[in-house]
Structure 1
């Protein structure tokens, strides 16, 4: 958000997303009403900018691009008609070319600004990007943001050993090193989380409107800004979910989710819908990824098959000495472990100084064979 104290023209207010939300949605999370009262000298500018937006009669949702274009053309036509009528009035006219030019420029600027605003407001992540960005701005841990602009998931390993499978068109912000008595990350989009256990240091995922609190478990959060719902699906362990407003107001209205349970936050009504059996929800079943379907309980299974399962689940490539490991079998449970921990357990079980290196979605296993 820009420094509103520097606003000296209507166009400054019209270009401010938080001002648009306040006027069009009555969303005053950035305290515009309070600021206006404290800055009475700019109250006239604020009111003029507010009237410009309201004059468009912008609906709150479900606007097609054709309707937007028609509304803009109608506004332009009104400006043209008003100018023609003024020229027909038999009164002394001050012929200032600059005045008409200013009106036209103002109209063009307004239409450009509103076109961008309406498109973002009705078709994309305008509201929830504000939530995500506000959460990032309020954090003082020096966050790193990773955006997945590719067409396949990316694996992110956090400093505590936790791992996140970040889906395309998603972004995650997290500290290089977790400090203090909490671990906090921020998600916009979709990610599958496998959290390293640490009861003394709970893990929080802030995903736009909701907060998910865990100690050590695996779960999926789907919080795309341009979709009507936010979903949390638990694979193993237990999670607690609440809204951002609840955690800000220090309310303890937590919703507890167990394995194979889910929670759907419906943005339009700002309500929670708990799903006690995800197999009965067609939307959740159809959106299940490989990592949620595959099992990680292995009993006397070739290690080559275990590596193949990990590749399918995380969409990574594992390079290992096939000849040296072809006769190696393992019995192990990897169901509730982040990806780095899975690899550590496998390497330790194989012995012979087996180790791994991981660079993004590429994993290299170094081994002389199994014990």
Structure 2
């Protein structure tokens, strides 16, 4: 093993036998994992080298020295142009058979890198939120949350989305056809109205989440290394949106209190069957998932306060007229608009509500 602290090229990792043993055999006698975690820039280079190690596994062939030379020069040229760097790559002229074997591996690895960065991102346009929107822009509305608190979006079918800061959601003004499709970049908590004839699909970059009527959270910020889905109620089906690399799309089914973590680089689905055992997942939950919406003879005023806390909305209601009103109801598995409708119907006397973004107004003369 050379002095790995001086490694600046992927090829140096590929030529290091101890590195390959660590990647392929989990043999870490040289403490590669600890060494990698010491430096974020180093970790990025190591991850790229690991991807190539898994992708390669090809024997040395009978490439001529000229062919190796030409391939190396052409591949490096493409990679450097793609990354828009000015760093010059020095290509060594390889002559003997032993070196030709290493060269063949490097050529394959470098071509894999170019293929990954060019074909993967360019041809698989459906993976990227912006590309999806370009292809489906007709009739789509886009909501961008540039504030520092979540925003409530009510869709045409009554489904509600609690859109987190620095997130975007594109959706049709009215759902038509046999499916209800929306597109997410960032994070949102979804509560979906039940409609067995029209499944609801959330396209969040690399994954597609399909439901009938349920509640779940998706976290898919563009710069995060993982995409996460956490289910609160109902059943969720998820599969990869990387059709170019998945001839048969793997589907993962999640039940309540289960989650999926999808690695963007590893392309691996990691199913978590109990989110309480994963601190990073539980810390991501909001009040809307933690609070109980089971009410037994509870004052309406208190129920409104619970909704305000859960959805970060402001509810204007005639407190003096409703302070003696108590209701019993279950609101666990309904979107926000359905929750408000059930409460108003329970109060009676033609009680109604109106929503304008995060502002809700209740009109009532009191309970029955």
Partner of 2:163: 166
Distance 2:184 2:328 in 1: 35
Q: Structure 1 residues 244 and 55 mapped into 2: Cα distance closer, same or farther (>3 Å)?
A: closer
Is the CA contact 1:128–1:208 (under 8 Å) kept in the aligned structure 2? no
1:296 is aligned to 2:289 = no
Is the CA contact 2:322–2:367 (under 8 Å) kept in the aligned structure 1? yes
2:147 corresponds to which of 129, 146, 150: 150
Distance 1:351 1:247 in 2: 55
Distance 1:328 1:250 in 2: 58
Distance 2:286 2:126 in 1: 25
Distance 2:224 2:126 in 1: 12
Q: Structure 1 residues 201 and 328 mapped into 2: Cα distance closer, same or farther (>3 Å)?
A: same
- Aligned counterparts, 1:347-362, within 5 A: 347-362=344-359
Partner of 1:84: none
Cα deviation, residue 259, structure 1: 0.3
Distance 1:158 1:164 in 2: 8
1:337 is aligned to 2:334 = yes
Distance 1:200 1:150 in 2: 36
Count of residues in correspondence between the two structures: 268
Cα deviation, residue 138, structure 1: 2.3
Is the CA contact 2:228–2:260 (under 8 Å) kept in the aligned structure 1? yes
Cα deviation, residue 130, structure 1: 6.8
Distance 1:128 1:151 in 2: 30
Partner of 1:318: 315
1:215 is aligned to 2:237 = no
Distance 2:238 2:308 in 1: 30
1:264 corresponds to which of 254, 261, 264: 261
1:182 is aligned to 2:179 = yes
**Can you list the C-alpha shifts for 1:246-302, whole angstroms capped at 9, x where unaligned?**
599784532110000000001120110000000000110111111110110000000
Cα deviation, residue 135, structure 1: 1.5
Unaligned runs of 5+ in 1: 1-23, 27-47, 59-67, 76-120
Distance 1:252 1:130 in 2: 14
Please give the root-mean-square deviation of Cα atoms over the aligned residues, in Å: 3.1
Is the CA contact 1:132–1:188 (under 8 Å) kept in the aligned structure 2? yes
Unaligned runs of 5+ in 2: 1-47, 52-72, 89-116
Distance 2:364 2:162 in 1: 26
TM-score (normalizing by structure 1):
0.66
Aligned to 2:203, what secondary structure does the other structure show? strand
2:306 corresponds to which of 302, 306, 309: 309
Distance 1:285 1:341 in 2: 26
Is the CA contact 2:351–2:364 (under 8 Å) kept in the aligned structure 1? yes
Distance 2:191 2:82 in 1: 46
Distance 1:217 1:55 in 2: 47
